[in-house]
Chains A and B, each alone.
Chain A
Amino acid sequence: MVDAARQPKVDILAYSEVEKVDGYIGNFRVQVTKKPRYVLADRCNGCGQCAQVCPIEVPNDFEMDIAPRKAIDVPHGQAVPLVYSIDMDHCIQCYKCVSACGKLDAIDFSQEPETVDLDVGSIIVATGFESFDPTVIPEYGYGAYPNVITAMELERLANSAGPTVGRMVRPSDGKTPKSIAMIQCVGSRDSRFNEYCSGFCCMYTIKNALLLKQMYHEMDITIFYMDIRTPSKGYEEFYNRARQSGIRFIQGRPSQITEDPVTHNLFVEAEDQALGMPIELEAELVSLSAAAIPRLDTEHVASTLTLSRSPSGFFMEYHPKLRPVDSPTDGVFLAGAAQGPKDIPASVAQGSAAAARAARVLSADTWEIEPIVARVSAERCISAQGKKCGICAKACPYGAIIVEVGQPAQITQAKCHGCGGCVAECPHDAISQDHFTDAQVVAQLKELLRDKPEEKILAFMCHWCSYGGADNAGTSHFEYPATSRGVRVMCSARMDQDFILEAFRRGAGMVLVSGCHPQDCHYITGQQVAAKRFDRIPRMLERMGINPERFRVEWISAAEGEKYARVITEMDAKLDSLDKAQIQAENAKARPDITKRLQRWKIVPNMQDLLEDEVVSEPGKVAPK
Chain B
Amino acid sequence: MIRSSDFDPTFVQEIMAEPGGEHLLTCWSCGTCAATCLVRRFDSAFNPRLVLHKAGLGLRKEVLSSAEIWQCSACDACYPRCPKQIHISDVMKAIRQIAIREGYERPGVTAEVDVASCIACGLCAAACPYEAISLEMVEYEGGTKQAAKVDPNLCMACGICNSVCLGSCIGVPGYLDEAVNQNIGEDEGTSPTMPRALVITCNWCLHAGSDWEYAQHPPEGVKVVNVPCSGRVTPAFVTTALQAGVDGVLIVGCQEDQCHYKHGNALEKGRAAMLQNLLELLGIERERAQFAWLGSLDRGKFPELVNKLVQDVQALGPLSWSE
Contact = CB atoms under 8 A, between A and B. Distances in A.
Interface of A: 138-139, 141, 185, 189-192, 226, 251-256, 258-262, 267, 269-273, 276-280
B83 A191 contact: yes
A190 B299 contact: no
A119 B207 CA distance: 64
A256 B299 CA distance: 11
B226 interface: no
- What 8 pairs between A and B have smallest CB-CB spacing? A271-B31, A255-B35, A258-B299, A253-B30, A271-B34, A190-B83, A255-B36, A252-B31
A77 B28 CA distance: 44
B296 to A, nearest CB: 6
A256 B296 contact: yes
A278 B300 contact: no
Interface in B18-37: 28-36
Interface string B204-238: 00011100000000000000000000000000000
A276 B35 contact: no
B40 interface: yes
A276 B49 CA distance: 9
Interface core residue of A139, A255, A273 (most chain B CB under 10 Å)? A255
B83 A185 contact: yes
Interface string B46-85: 0101100000000000000000000000000010010111
Contact of B209 (A189, A192, A254, A280): A280
Interface residues of B, number: 28
A260 B301 CA distance: 10
7 contacts: A255-B32, A261-B299, A261-B300, A261-B301, A269-B36, A271-B31, A273-B29
Nearest to A278: B35
Contacts of B296: 139, 256, 258
A265 to B, nearest CB: 10
B282 interface: no
B40 A254 contact: no
A258 B47 contact: no
B315 interface: no
B299 A139 contact: no
A226 B34 contact: no
Interface in B270-306: 296-301
A138 B80 CA distance: 11
Contacts of A269: 35-36
B32 A253 contact: yes
Interface core residue of B35, B40, B44, B296 (most chain A CB under 10 Å)? B35
Given A253-B31, A253-B35, A280-B209, 6 more contacts: A139-B297, A255-B33, A258-B207, A258-B208, A276-B50, A278-B40
B297 A256 contact: yes
A300 B33 CA distance: 39
Contact of A252 (B35, B209, B297): B35
A260 B31 contact: no
Contact of A271 (B47, B207, B301): B47
A139 B81 contact: yes
B36 A192 contact: no
Contacts of A253: 30-32, 35, 83
Nearest to B26: A191
A189 B85 CA distance: 11
Interface of B: 28-36, 40, 44, 47, 49-50, 78, 81, 83-85, 207-209, 296-301
A256 B81 contact: yes
B32 to A, nearest CB: 5
Interface core residue of B32, B50, B207, B208 (most chain A CB under 10 Å)? B32
A186 to B, nearest CB: 10
Contact of A270 (B28, B35, B84): B35
A262 B300 contact: yes
A252 B36 CA distance: 12
Contacts of A273: 29-31, 49
B297 A258 contact: yes
A214 to B, nearest CB: 30
A189 B297 CA distance: 23
Interface core residue of B40, B300, B301 (most chain A CB under 10 Å)? B300
Contacts of B49: 271, 273
A260 B300 contact: yes
Contact of B299 (A185, A251, A267): A267
A417 B81 CA distance: 45
A277 B35 CA distance: 8
Contacts of B78: 255
A273 B34 CA distance: 9
Given A139-B297, A256-B297, A267-B299, A191 B85 contact: yes
B304 to A, nearest CB: 8
A189 B84 CA distance: 8
A252 B33 CA distance: 10
Contacts of A141: 297
Nearest to A141: B297
B24 to A, nearest CB: 15
B28 to A, nearest CB: 7
A267 B207 CA distance: 12
B306 to A, nearest CB: 15
Contact of A226 (B28, B35, B81, B297): B28
Contacts of B208: 258, 267
B14 to A, nearest CB: 24
Given A267-B208, A269-B35, A226 B84 contact: no
A380 B81 CA distance: 59
Interface core residue of A192, A271, A273 (most chain B CB under 10 Å)? A271
A325 to B, nearest CB: 31
Nearest to B30: A253
Contacts of B209: 280
Contacts of B298: 258
Contacts of A272: 31
A351 B33 CA distance: 41
Contacts of B33: 255
A254 B32 contact: yes
A100 B40 CA distance: 67
Interface core residue of B36, B47, B84 (most chain A CB under 10 Å)? B36
B40 A226 contact: no
A255 B77 CA distance: 10
Nearest to B40: A278
Contacts of B40: 278
Contacts of A255: 31-33, 35-36, 78, 81
Contacts of B30: 226, 252-253, 273
Nearest to A137: B81
Nearest to B209: A280
